[in-house]
Amino acid sequence: MKSLRTEEHHIHFIGVGGIGMSALALILFKRGYSVSGSDQQSSHSLKCLSDQGVKIFDQQNESNITHICKNNRLNPIVVLSTAIPSNNQELQAAKQANLEIWHRSDLLAALIHKQPTIAIAGSHGKTTTSTIITTLLALSGRDPTAVIGGLVPHYKSNGHAGQGKLLIAEADESDGSLIKFDPELGVITNLELDHTDHYPNLETLISTMQIFRQRSKRTLANYDCPNLRKNFKASAWWSVKTYQGVDFAALPVKFDGNETVAMIYEKEKLIGKITLPLAGIHNLSNSIAAIGACRMEGMSFEELKKYMPFVQAPSRRFELRGNWKGRQIIDDYAHHPSEISATIARARLMVKSNPNDLTKENKRLVVVFQPHRYSRTKNFLNDFAKSLGKADLVLLAPLYEAGEKPIQGINNKSLAIAMKKYHVNVPVLVSDSLDHLTILVKENTLENDLIISMGAGDINSLWQRLQNKYNENNLPSSNIAA
């Protein structure tokens, strides 16, 4: 296991603005380490690091490494993520200088090894589940350290250097690096094939997750997921469908666009009713996973019931950006067919119940979707087409490459063609740029439409683009939990 010492090492992050990298940089800086980083794109995370006093380079080139070696008496360790290509100039300079180079997972593994950790893994719901666990522990005064793949509203940050005993870490399976972690408790939310650039098939993903399970001292898993139930042995299980044969269950008694009310069972015994300020069956599953994890770490049900109403979803998880010309604009990170289906189902609850956040009844559900990665789009083309067709109108942004090379015949037009095979009556419009997409939104949506921008790329800029291009007395931005 690699180790760090504040008195010995300077930590430099290439691509420090990344959601996982910035959290680690902030925690190390708060713990007294000498930290610097580079990134070519400005972001909220970069500003927060800079405001704290972290040295930020706005380019990624050789001079950064020269500066670090010349101006630090400590031994530099260079940290990078899978997103950094091997031909990156700064990385090449670090290799030429014979600096120690770590993957971000090596750094997270070192932190996990130092203190008791709840690590949350799985195909979907990791960030939301991690955020709920972190928030409940924080509100109860346990002050956990947190490394999360999204902005935690309670901290207004994706990273927090807590004084409590626990570390809450999101364990990303996308590149297989989670097999380095040895948490006290491993939580597995669900399992289905994704990240096909790394996993050729479901069996490979299952094998990787099995190693994570074996390295976890205890595991808590989703009984409702067939792939988990069939292939895994867990210390404890949760469900939102049954209380029989599981350790933790949340059976819904009320669903609407604002909240969920559920009866909570523990080892088949009803222990009480709880109100969650999150809508949708997927968020009920995320919530009972968090409740189960907190119970396994010693929180009382009374504490959980007291603090759950104050939980908020992380950023970009059904985040209400504001009102534009009578249309509610919501941004969501969904970029897998299952996530799209869950987000649309949650939106239908919102339209149906017409909660107080909406001034008028929504008439249509409009999805503005940005395909993410050529490999994912190719492998799930028909599944994307089926999921998106549950909307009333679909606008497709150009595909976000995420560093991948193009695959012939795979783009937003091929997705539109696939949609027409399954949903001939659902209008689909294709854009050739984000500026063109903004025009399509203006020309093809109506007052009282509920518009959801979806994707893991830069589709989250839609709200700001609408404001910049067609600014007409917009209401202030606000957030609602989901």
pLDDT digits (tens, 9 = 90+) for 42-65: 777 888 898 888 999 988 899 999
Could you tell me the domains of the chain?
9-102 (3.40.50.720), 115-310 (3.40.1190.10), 319-469 (3.90.190.20)
User: Minimal CA–CA distance to 138: which of 115, 168, 106, 111?
Assistant: 168
Whether 133 contacts 84, CB under 8 Å: no
What's the CA gap between 469 and 218, in Å, rounded?
A: 52
d(CA 424, CA 36): 53
**Nearest in space to 240 (alpha carbons), one of 297, 186, 205, 289:** 289
pTM reported for the whole predicted model = 0.81
pLDDT for 361: 53
The burial class, CB within 10 Å (0-12 / 13-18 / 19+), for 262 is buried
Task: Please write the tens of the pLDDT for every residue from 200-213.
Answer: 898 999 999 999 99
Write down the pLDDT at residue 171. 93
73 pLDDT band (50/70/90 cuts)?
confident
Q: Which two three-digit tokens encode residue 309?
A: 């109403």
Residue 2 reports pLDDT greater than 60: yes
Coil, strand or helix at 199: coil
- How distant is the alpha carbon of residue 243 from its chain centre? 28
- Rounded distance between C-alpha atoms, residue 263 and residue 69, angstroms: 58
Order of strands, edge to edge, in the sheet holding 260-266?
A: 157-160, 145-152, 167-170, 117-121, 185-188, 218-222, 236-239, 248-255, 260-266, 269-276
Whose CA is closest to 251, among 219, 222, 273, 235? 273
Name the residue with tokens 């972190």: 134
